[in-house]
Chain A
Amino acid sequence: ETGVTQTPRHLVMGMTNKKSLKCEQHLGHNAMYWYKQSAKKPLELMFVYNFKEQTENNSVPSRFSPECPNSSHLFLHLHTLQPEDSALYLCASSQFSSERGAYEQYFGPGTRLTVT
């Protein structure tokens, strides 16, 4: 399988549940990202990992907990979420392209999360 994959594609969870989102990239990239996309809001950067080290936590509530065991896998652990956390959660990876002179991001299809 190529590119960036995410599982599950859809998730419905209650506010007291614990669940995890999984992301896997097959592109050999060093950086991985979690984004949140809500209706009527720009794409929000949540977490960034570079070479498995977390380099950005964009003031995300502690009920979201990322994990990056290696450069190819990224998890987002969810616990005690609120209804306003319902959104599309997107994973991406990137690598510097010397041909284009810039980092370029490649996204997975996302997990549509609904918190009831």
Chain B
Amino acid sequence: TQLLEQSPQFLSIQEGENLTVYCNSSSVFSSLQWYRQEPGEGPVLLVTVVTGGEVKKLKRLTFQFGDARKDSSLHITAAQPGDTGLYLCAGPFSGTYKYIFGTGTRLKVLA
């Protein structure tokens, strides 16, 4: 059974701090995605990583796919209150269009 564990589960930081969120599995994934979800809304796709070791940047967000394609990390530089939300990683079953989602990291950035 493929599982995605995220850590930490909750994170509360001050504006301007840096943070890293992790997504780990014992299974290999053909790709991993990161989403952000705000209260009362659906998750919004942030990035897709497909190559082991790949690094992608989205403004102050840096995403990395592990070399073995079993894990990923999301690093936020100089967090802002607008970064507050639930961060989810997701990966497809055996490279198909069916997904499993991680346990989620709830981030709160205080002004």
CA distance A20 to B43 in the complex (A): 22
Flag if A102 contacts B92 (CB, 8 Å).
yes
B100 at the interface (CB under 8 A from A): yes
Interface residues of A in 1-23 (CB under 8 A from B): 4
Shortest C-beta distance, A38 to chain B (Å), equals 12
CB pair B99 A45 closer than 8 Å: yes
Q: A100-B50, A101-B50, A105-B90 are in contact. Are A31 and B42 (CB under 8 A)?
A: no
**Residues in A neighbouring B100, C-beta threshold 8 A:** 42, 45
Report whether over half of chain B's contact residues are helix, strand or loop; otherwise say mixed.
Answer: loop
Contact A45 to B98, CB < 8 A, known contacts A101-B50, A102-B50, A105-B90: yes
What 0/1 readout, one digit per residue, does chain A (42-56) give for beta carbons within 8 Å of chain B? 110100101000011
Task: Please tell me the number of chain A residues within 8 Å of chain B, measured between CB atoms.
Answer: 28
- Is the CB–CB distance between B40 and A112 below 8 Å? yes
- Check B97–A110 contact: CB distance below 8 A: no
The answer to whether A42 touches B104, judged by C-beta atoms less than 8 angstroms apart, is yes
The interface of chain B, by Cβ under 8 A from chain A, is 4, 30-31, 33, 35, 40-45, 48, 50, 88, 90, 92, 96-104
- Which residues of A pack against B, CB within 8 Å? 4, 31, 33, 35, 42-43, 45, 48, 50, 55-56, 90, 92, 94, 96-97, 100-110, 112
